[in-house]
Structure 1
């Protein structure tokens, strides 16, 4: 499984504030070019973010749906990329002294991405995950100055 983490010098509540802003996902989720819509009540169970990933003729419209939620602590998402399949993404927040450890666990769940999952695709998920968790931490720090 592709698991990445980062420490952010902010509280779990401040990190959750950014996760609860569905329009902010294009600011930190690698590859997302546009947030087309965010369901009312995001990130309540069953709500979704509707996004575009990629550019030009390679653009793909997708949807990410909340499958698990523990406000301030855990957000379990299913990112559905249509014919490519879907991925399970779990974002976990843990107090670390006065800071927060953000852990993002992402792996294929259904469809071709799941069937073709290998060590190579795992490396690609890790290459994508590291800048993603770093961008999330930086966005939290910008929104909540020390």
Structure 2
């Protein structure tokens, strides 16, 4: 599965606090443009954030669901953006000397996106998730 890692100069708890606030999702996830609703029990398994993907006026309303979670350490999501498809996303936080190593793994699991050859799909996901981790770092490192 294509993956990216980044050292974020913040504690694992500060990084987790950003991930656990569903309203911040479009600030760090490339492609997500706005939040419509966040389930009260986010990020518990089965909870969802309801977001829009794209650029106005061509917005697609969809949701992302938590499929597995270890609070403070890992979060696994099923991100939907139909008609493009769905992706499995796994984020893992590991304490590091300079803060937190964040690893994100993502791949398309259903829909037309699966027709893209894996090397090309992996390259586009690598670019996208490099920027997503950069944005996540900006938020976590500057939050009080």
Distance 2:34 2:108 in 1: 22
For 2:95, the equivalent position in structure 1 comes to: 95
Q: Which is worse superposed, 70-79 or 56-65? A: 56-65
For 1:59, the equivalent position in structure 2 comes to: 59
* Change in 2 beyond 3 A, CA 1:108/1:15: same
Moved over 3 A (4+): none
- Deviation of the 1:58 alpha carbon: 2.7
Q: Which is worse superposed, 53-62 or 4-13? A: 53-62
- Deviation of the 1:62 alpha carbon: 1.6
TM-score, normalised by the number of residues in structure 1: 0.93
**Structure 2 counterparts to residues 131-142 of structure 1, below 5 A:** 131-142=131-142
For 2:82, the equivalent position in structure 1 comes to: 82
For 2:48, the equivalent position in structure 1 comes to: 48
CA deviations on 1:45-99 (whole Å, 9 max, x unpaired) are 1001111111134321121000000000000000012232200000100011251
Conservation of the 8 A alpha-carbon contact between 1:78 and 1:86: yes
Greater share of strand: 2
Q: Which is worse superposed, 65-74 or 98-107? A: 98-107
Conservation of the 8 A alpha-carbon contact between 1:108 and 1:117: no
For 1:9, the equivalent position in structure 2 comes to: 9
- Deviation of the 1:107 alpha carbon: 0.5
Corresponding pairs, count: 144
SS in 2 for 1:10: coil
For 1:143, the equivalent position in structure 2 comes to: 143
For 1:116, the equivalent position in structure 2 comes to: 116
